[in-house]
Each structure stands twice: as C-alpha cells, then as structure tokens.
Structure 1
Amino acid sequence: MAITSANQLELLQTAEAVAREKMIDPSLVIEAMEESLARAAKSRYGSEMDIRVSIDRKTGRATFTRVRTVVEDEELENYQAEMTVDQARQYMENPQVGDTYSEEIPPVDMGRIAAQSGKQVIIQKVREAERDRQFEEFKDRVGTIINGVVKREEFGNVIVDVGRGEAILRRNEKIGREAYRNGDRIRCYIKDVRRETRGPQIFLSRTAPEFMAELFKMEVPEIYDGIIEIKAVARDPGSRAKIAVISYDGSIDPVGACVGMRGSRVQAVVNELQGEKIDIIPWNEDMPTFLVNALQPAEVSKVVLDEDAERIEVVVPDDQLSLAIGRRGQNVRLASQLTGLDIDIMTEAEESERRQKEFEVRTKLFMDTLDLDEFFAQLLVAEGFTNLEEVAYVELDELLVIDGVDQDTANELQARARDVLEEQARAAMERARELGVEDSLVEFEGLTPQMIVALAEDDVKTLEDFATCADWELAGGWTTVNGERVKDDGLLEPFEVSLEEAQAMIMTARVQLGWVDLADLESDDAEAGEADEDEDADTEEARA
C-alpha cells in the first residue's frame, strides 16, 4: 500500500495513540515508523542504498530520500551509497570528501511482507523505548520503599505490579513463610534495578536491613528530619532485630522517639514485619560501651577490645550466659552484625580459669629462667610483668616497688634476665646460620635473632626474600571467607610486630636494595599529605 494523503494524518494519530498507551514520547514512535518505512524502501530499491525517511510532525507526509556520500577514489566501495569527487561534480558545486548529496525518490508501495516487517520494527522500537522509560523511572528509586499489588507467584517468587512495570520479590527476600494471594497489597524495599536483555528487572526485598530503616524513617518524623540518625541495623527477618540510633539534639531521647507514645511507632513497624521483635539501642562511639548496649537484655561484667583483629571479648555472669548468647546464638549474632566485630563470650568462671592458667605459665617462666622460687615469681607476675624483656629493660624503680626487692635484688634480677636473653639470642643466631641465612638479612636493623630464625624456617633467608614479603605475611591479619573472618598467622606475629612496623621494615629493605627511590617515596608522601589537608579543608568548609 502507498502512503497517500488520505492516511498521512493517520500516521500521526497512530503514533500519538501508541505513545499515550505506552506512556512514551510520541517522537520515538514516529522515529520507529521512519525506520520501518526506510527498511521497506530498501527492499524495493536495493539494500545497498542509503535511504532515509522523514515524517512531517504536522502533516504526516512521509518524504523518501536517497543519500550518497562523497569519498576518495580509492575508498569507493558501495556505488549505490557513495560517489567520488568527480562524480559528485555532476550534482554539486565544488564537492569535498565527506559531503552528502540527497535526492527525493518516489514513495514505495508496501506489500504484505514489507508491511509486516515494518510493523515488527515499530513494535521492537516501542518496546525498547518502554523498557528505557521503566529503567530510568525506577533506577533512581533504589533504596526506597514502594507499594505494589501481587499479580502472581512463580516457584516461590512473587511478581508485583508496581504501576508502570513489574517487579520480583524473590523467595529468599520474603519474611519467614509469608504467603500472598493475587490482589494482595504489599510494601517492599527496592533493592536493585538492572538493565537486562528482556527488559529492566526490579528486585524487591522485605528482609533487607535497609527496609526496616526506611520503615522507621516513615514512622518517626525525627529520623526523616535528620534529628535522629539510624547508625546500624541487624536483622534475623521475621524473628528479631536490633537497631542502633543516635540523637543530634540533646533534648530528644532517640530510643523514646523511635518507640513512640505507648509504643505506637515501633508497633507499626513490628506489624509490617510480621511481628519481628525489635531492640532499639542507643549508639555510642565507644565500641565497648556500644557492645554492652547491643547485648541487652544480658548484663556484661567486662569487655576487652582487640581493634587490630576486630574482635571483642565479653565476660558475663554465669547466670547471664544463655541470655547473652540467645536462642540458637541469635542475640550475640545480631550484636556482632550491629557492631561489625567478632564477639567471644565467656562466663566469669571461664575467664577466671583462663587468667589463672596465664598466671601459672608466667610464674613458671620466671621460675625456670631466672632461678626464682614460686613466691617471688608470683610477685613479679602480680605486678604485671609478662616476659623477660620487661624485667631486663624496665626502669629500676618499677622493680623496687615490689615488696622485698631492694637495690641489689633488682640489679640481680635484671642481670639474670639479660644473661638469659643474650644466651637465647646467641642460640638463635647459631640456628639461623645453620638454616643458611645470609648476612644481608642478619645485619638488617629491626630484626632480632629469634625473628630471623622464624623467617628462615619459612624460607626467607635473604634481604631480597624479606623485601618481597607482604606486610600481612609478617604481622598477620584477617581475611573474610564466605562471610566469616579467618585468621592469617604472620611470621613475626609472635614477636608483636604491628602491621605499620612490618610495612616500614619492608619498605626500608626495598630502599636498601634500590627497588624503591627514597626521593620518589618522600614526594608521594608529601602529595598524600597535601591531599589529606585539602580534604580536611573541604570538610571544614562544608561544615561551616
């Protein structure tokens, strides 16, 4: 069929109707029509021709144009869509490479096959435009709550109608054993929006910690206004949750504001989460204090924090152990998620037993190495001495405060300790030589003979070997494997070498070997310092 004047306006009317139905820009539909008409024209005049169609947005008239591009003589390949400069002079004045020549050609009669092909092009283009619109609309709504209507359930996954598209609530993102019927209203958290070949995929969640935070933001005006901030959320979906809040207004209690009058605010959240019990905890910058709050309702006797290992040791009364751990470890697990620390819980009796064992081990160390009786060795341990180095090199006054220790006794203690340490160093050096350690490593400043033996037993025997080590290989560290923190033992960790000290020693070795230029290193440090200063200045300016 030819596009006559009778049906020219129908093109525009059809485009507007499709655009209105799909809620997309009418110009996109017209562009799809232009492409479909151009494809039909190519099937009539030849696929190698560059044929373009333009539909007038007011009259609906379709103009068919053949376009030819001017190219160099040696680059001429497609005689239907290209021409040389000499050929172009027949149609143009002073043609240049890259110019185009357009001439209008008669409209085509669209047969059944061409019409069907054009229809498919329009459908495809409209579908792509609809998908782009959906993606652009929902991508900025990630991290917010949306209300929808359940359409159907497929293999445990719930398909939700969210207005201008469909979203999916996966089986593992539902709370407990939630079941929905067609037509049920549902409230979810938009977790992710992805652009995929089959269209934008909107993934919902009801188990995400952020879902609870957003619900509280809706129920508590102080959170929405920024007066109260949610610092952390930990959930066991459908069972129990802990949420940490802080108030930036001293006159407002963050916990009371979240609970509401007679618990009205928190109860609204609990009802939405299928009865999930919620512990609202005041946030504290001091991590041990925060952990004590997080372990509520259990009482805590003592907290020991290891910041390097990101672990925390908690001592509770014997009768509070089961309460602190919770059913199936739920309470301590949520507290660990909330603080971001691994938590070890022990009773006062267990802690006392462990301390007693440590006391006995240190007492025996001093008895065996310094030739002391048990009572005197216990006095040293009771005063806080843990190893021979502390006894050998501590200020003399710290020994004199021990009952029964005078000037001569203190000097004798230190002399014995130093003799033992020197003998241990000599024996360690002999062992290092037996293992084949080179002088370059022995003479490196900062390594004791015992450290050198530990390195040599792991086949680090030269300064080059030492310089290729990573800092965590020396000082140890932690690696997260399958969501659990796993300890990496360091070669020098028994000697209490920190990560910073390991980094400094490795860099010094590399500088000595010429692998790193000290001037470049100092320049990098200076630039890093300037960047930090600029960042601090920007932060202060933003605060002002």
Structure 2
Amino acid sequence: MTKSPIHSPSCQSTKRGNSAARKWKSETLCCCHYRWKNWVASRRKPAVRNNVYEQYIDRVGELVNGFVKRFERGNMIVDLGNLEAILPRSQQSRGEQWNQGERIRVVITNVSKESKGPQIEVSRTSPELLERLFEMEVPEIYDGTVVIKSCVREPGERAKIAVVSNERDVDPVGACVGMKGSRVQAIIRELRGEKIDIIEWSEEPSVFAANSLSPAKVNQVRITDIENRQMEVIVNEDQLSLAIGKRGQNVRLATKLVGWNIDIRSEEEIKREVHEQMSAMIASGEPVPLSATQVVTAQQAEALVDHGVADIDALAHTTVDDLVEFLDVSLDEAETILKEARSVVELRDQSLAASEAEVPVAETVEAQHAVSAEFDEEATGEVEPNDDMTAPGYDEAVEQGVPYSADPNHRAQDSAEPVALTEADPFTVDELVLQDAGRDLRPDVVTPAPDITSTALADLEAASEEETATAFEAEADTIETEIPLESSPKEVAATNESPQDEKQ
C-alpha cells in the first residue's frame, strides 16, 4: 500500500509535555497537497475512462450530434456535451469547411481505453454515416421494409448505395428518393453536395453489376472467372466514357459495391477481337470455342461442354429444345444463343472462302512482277538519247523550229512510195490540217495517218495548191496592196532553202 503524504518523514514533530504537536513547514505543506491531488486524480481517471468506454462501446456506428470546439494540428475536437471526441484529419471530407461553434453530425467509429487523448473517435467519411442518414430520412429503412445491402463512398464526390425491398409493393429506389427527390436531397445537403446513386440490389451478380454502373446503359455482362470474381461488361461506344466515369470513379465504386472485378469493354472492341480470333482460328484450322459468342456465359459454356457441345459448330447444330434442356433457359434466350452461334459460323465460312479466293490473285500478281523483273531489271525510268539527237544538224533544226530527219528518204510503213523529207521542210497550213486528220508529225519522222496513203496525200496537196492559188488571184483583184494569205509549200520551201544556201 502506498503511503499517503501525511505519513511522509518530511513532517517534523516536537513534544510539549504529554501531547505531541506537528509542525508543518509551508513549503512541505504545498508539496504534500500537490502530491495528494495527483494521487486522487490518478485513481479517479481510470475509473472515468472505464465508465466512458462502457457507455460508448455499444454506440459504435451511431450517428451523434456535436459542436466544433477547436482545431489541433489539423484534427477537429468535437464537443459531444459531456465529453470530447476527436475527428482526425483523415476522416474529414474534402471540400468541407467548418467553423468553431458550428453544429456537426458525425458517426462514432472507435472507442479506446488509452490514458492519453480523447477516447472517442468520430468520422465524416465512413459509409456508415450515409447509412445512418438514410435511416433517419427514410421511414421504410428505419422500420425494415427497405434494407441497405451495401454502401460505398468517395467522400465529397460520389457515393453508391444498394437497397432492396422486403415487400413487392414497395419500390426501394423510389422510397429512398422520395417525392420529387426530397429525401435524397436532404442527405445531399448534409454531405455538402456529395452525389448519391441509389442502386437496386440483386442476387444475380451480372444484374447487380449492370445496375451498379448507373447511369450508363449496359448491353451485356459476362462472368469470365468465378473463382477470382471477375466479370466483363460490354457497352456501346457512346456509353463507354459514362460507364468508366471521371478518372474511373464510376467503375471503381461499382467494383467496391458489387465485390467483383469489373472490366468494361466497348461493343466495337469486342467485335474486332472476335474477328481477329476467328481469322487466327481459321488460319490454324482449330475449332471455334464457345467463348467466341457474346451471349454464352462461362457457366453456360461449362454446362454445354458437359452435354457434349464443345465448340461453336456443335452449338450451331443444336436444336432449341435441347438448348433449353441443357441450359435451363427460356425459348427466347435459346433462340438468341443459336442465332448468335450460327452467325459466327457463317462469318467463319465467309472469311475462309475469302482467304481461299485471295490465293490465286496473289499468285497472279507475283507472276506479273516476276515477268516485269525479267524483262528489264535495271530500268531506271530515264530515256537515253538516240543517234539523231546527237547528230550535228539536230540542234540547229530545234532552234529554228523545223523537223529534223537523219534519213531524207524515210518510207512510211503503209505507203507505196517514199516520202521525201529534208531537214529544211517546215510545217505548212496544209500539213497542220493533215495533222488534225490524224497525221503523225514528229521532230524526226513525218508519217501519214494509217488511213491516208501517199497517193491520196499527193492529191490533197494538189487540191490545196489550186485552192490557194485561186484565192490569191481573187484577193489580188480586189485590193491594191498585195498581201499573200497563204504560201504554197514550194514557196515556203524556197524561202527556207535560201538561208541554208547562204550558209553553205
């Protein structure tokens, strides 16, 4: 037993006759009083903490009201009336700002027996806070008609809550929303604008997952791995971003709410992958598995394999009645599965036929390339100059704009007589007319058109000379100044020959 300060040897005693008196020094008295006070407090404090612990340990998860008393190093001290509770910084919702003396609603999360600091720890980010608020605002939840199955939150941003009704006549989602959203709006105001999605709970994981991704519309849910609780959700391309949410928030909350790993895929991506898998299987000659269809789940695939339907070809030849018996589904679902299987088989056959048709075409193209390579492997696309281009008179003829021929007596292929050409022969008007008729006039060769022979050409030239002479005489009679309209071929040739003679 610990001795009290009164038995301390610090006190002095003196004898006066038959009585003894104790004489206390002032300093010793103050020290003894302080020790006595601490001794009483040390005995009283554990008793008080035990009393608080026994009083609040059964109230964990309960919603309590308090007032903001003060702030200590980011933590908030909440006055609950007869004692203080601590709201850690980690349990405070982002975006919320509180002032001293402001009323606050919190949920009790922990009660400790430690001798230092507040015993009660409260929270504003716990999902239990959302559940308690719904119990307070929705009478159907309070009396048990509507049950909250699960609840997840990202405090200050978004929350999802799954509810189910024990009575068929009561809509769980409508009861939580209230008339014109009055009930849920009151909770949103309490949580300072946090968005809340109310989801209808279902025993079927695929249905529950489709509901949990609200507001996105889901086309199909496929369970890929039951043991590891993984599923694949297929949506349209325009619903993909809505299903994933901002920074993946929607799918992250849905994963926590359902308890399954959810992989969101678009319809176009699935079709592209199926087409690639089909092409690979066709090339390898392997049978198409049941997973190639988008309407057969993993459980249904196992059931089909147990009944001898191991691939997509066997499924396509299965009857509707057998499929209803094997999978325990309705007639509509069985018809949908068969339709999908037959479409996959048809796509496989079309791809196989197309691949077989492409083989001869590819071989023909390769053969043509091989012939071209054998014909001229070193062709560079450049034209080498011929002998006429390097002849001495070629450059002068080009400068003067007259045709040049190395062989004056060049014979046309279809003519019976040679066509005499010299490098001094110019283009006349008649020759230009013949060019329109199909005559080929080249710098080095002048060849009549295939349908005009040399005899016909001579007749045309003679007729042209006569017409030119007649027109010239008529003009000479009417005007004083003689202006030749057309020169005959001989005159033009003579004019062009004179400079050549002077040069020689």
Q: TM-score, structure 1 length as denominator?
A: 0.49
- Secondary structure at 1:346's aligned position in 2? strand
Taking every aligned residue pair, what percent have the same amino acid on both sides? 44
Matches of 1:216 and 1:312, distance apart in 2: 30
Instruction: List per-residue Cα deviations over 1:21-65 (Å, max 9, x = no partner).
Output: xxxxxxxxxxxxxx88x52365359xxxxxxxxxxxxxxxxxxxx
Report how many residues are paired: 294
Matches of 2:184 and 2:290, distance apart in 1: 55
Match of 1:269 in 2: 187
Matches of 1:357 and 1:298, distance apart in 2: 28
1:190 aligns with 2:108: yes
Tell me which amino acid in the other structure corresponds to 1:347. Answer: S
1:348 aligns with 2:286: no
Match of 2:255 in 1: 336
Instruction: List per-residue Cα deviations over 1:314-351 (Å, max 9, x = no partner).
Output: 01011111111111111111111111111111100111
For residues 180-259 of structure 1, the aligned pairs below 5 Å read 180-259=98-177
Matches of 2:124 and 2:147, distance apart in 1: 21
Q: 1:154 aligns with which of 56, 72, 95?
A: 72
- Secondary structure at 1:362's aligned position in 2? helix
- Secondary structure at 2:196's aligned position in 1? strand
1:143 aligns with 2:61: yes
Tell me which amino acid in the other structure corresponds to 2:272. Answer: E
- Secondary structure at 2:285's aligned position in 1? helix
Tell me which amino acid in the other structure corresponds to 1:354. Answer: E
Instruction: List per-residue Cα deviations over 1:485-505 (Å, max 9, x = no partner).
Output: xxxxxxxxxxxxxxxxxxxxx
Aligned CA distance change for structure 1 residues 135 and 170 (closer, same or farther; 3 Å): same
Deviation of the 1:132 alpha carbon: 2.1
Instruction: List per-residue Cα deviations over 1:219-248 (Å, max 9, x = no partner).
Output: 111111111110011212112111100010
Match of 1:132 in 2: 50
Q: TM-score, structure 2 length as denominator?
A: 0.53
CA contact (8 A) 1:245 1:281 kept: yes
CA contact (8 A) 2:84 2:118 kept: no
- Secondary structure at 1:300's aligned position in 2? coil
- Structure ID, larger Rg: 2
Match of 2:499 in 1: none
Deviation of the 1:153 alpha carbon: 1.4
Deviation of the 1:395 alpha carbon: 8.5
Matches of 2:98 and 2:230, distance apart in 1: 42
1:43 aligns with 2:8: yes
Q: 2:230 aligns with which of 311, 318, 323?
A: 311
CA contact (8 A) 2:67 2:101 kept: yes
Matches of 2:139 and 2:21, distance apart in 1: 64
Matches of 1:401 and 1:275, distance apart in 2: 52
Matches of 2:92 and 2:237, distance apart in 1: 37
Matches of 1:292 and 1:381, distance apart in 2: 20
Aligned CA distance change for structure 1 residues 274 and 401 (closer, same or farther; 3 Å): closer
Match of 2:242 in 1: 323
Tell me which amino acid in the other structure corresponds to 2:108. Answer: I
Aligned CA distance change for structure 1 residues 365 and 43 (closer, same or farther; 3 Å): farther
CA contact (8 A) 1:134 1:200 kept: no
Matches of 2:71 and 2:42, distance apart in 1: 28
Aligned CA distance change for structure 1 residues 128 and 401 (closer, same or farther; 3 Å): closer
Instruction: List per-residue Cα deviations over 1:426-453 (Å, max 9, x = no partner).
Output: xxxxxxxxxxxxxxxxxxxxxxxxxxxx
Q: Which moved more, 1:341-350 or 1:150-159?
A: 150-159
Match of 1:284 in 2: 202
Tell me which amino acid in the other structure corresponds to 1:301. Answer: N
CA contact (8 A) 1:188 1:206 kept: yes
Q: 1:294 aligns with which of 212, 218, 229?
A: 212
Instruction: List per-residue Cα deviations over 1:430-483 (Å, max 9, x = no partner).
Output: xxxxxxxxxxxxxxxxxxxxxxxxxxxxxxxxxxxxxxxxxxxxxxxxxxxxxx
Matches of 1:262 and 1:402, distance apart in 2: 50
Aligned CA distance change for structure 1 residues 381 and 317 (closer, same or farther; 3 Å): closer
For residues 424-439 of structure 1, the aligned pairs below 5 Å read none
Aligned CA distance change for structure 1 residues 328 and 264 (closer, same or farther; 3 Å): same
Tell me which amino acid in the other structure corresponds to 1:166. Answer: E
Matches of 1:310 and 1:251, distance apart in 2: 33
CA contact (8 A) 1:135 1:200 kept: no
Aligned CA distance change for structure 1 residues 231 and 108 (closer, same or farther; 3 Å): farther
CA contact (8 A) 1:242 1:281 kept: yes
CA contact (8 A) 1:288 1:304 kept: yes
CA contact (8 A) 1:359 1:381 kept: no
CA contact (8 A) 2:65 2:104 kept: yes
Match of 2:434 in 1: none
Matches of 1:191 and 1:125, distance apart in 2: 28
CA contact (8 A) 2:274 2:292 kept: no
- Secondary structure at 2:113's aligned position in 1? strand
Aligned CA distance change for structure 1 residues 108 and 218 (closer, same or farther; 3 Å): farther
CA contact (8 A) 1:311 1:341 kept: yes
- Secondary structure at 1:117's aligned position in 2? helix
Matches of 1:302 and 1:214, distance apart in 2: 34
Tell me which amino acid in the other structure corresponds to 2:155. Answer: P
- Secondary structure at 2:206's aligned position in 1? helix
- Secondary structure at 1:281's aligned position in 2? strand
Match of 2:341 in 1: none
Tell me which amino acid in the other structure corresponds to 1:334. Answer: L
CA contact (8 A) 2:85 2:118 kept: no
- Secondary structure at 2:216's aligned position in 1? coil
Aligned CA distance change for structure 1 residues 190 and 401 (closer, same or farther; 3 Å): closer
Superposition RMSD on alpha carbons, in Å?
Answer: 3.5
Structure 1 unmatched ranges of 5 or more: 1-34, 46-105, 368-376, 385-389, 404-544
Instruction: List per-residue Cα deviations over 1:7-31 (Å, max 9, x = no partner).
Output: xxxxxxxxxxxxxxxxxxxxxxxxx
Matches of 1:181 and 1:397, distance apart in 2: 67
- Secondary structure at 2:99's aligned position in 1? coil
- Secondary structure at 1:290's aligned position in 2? helix
1:163 aligns with 2:81: yes
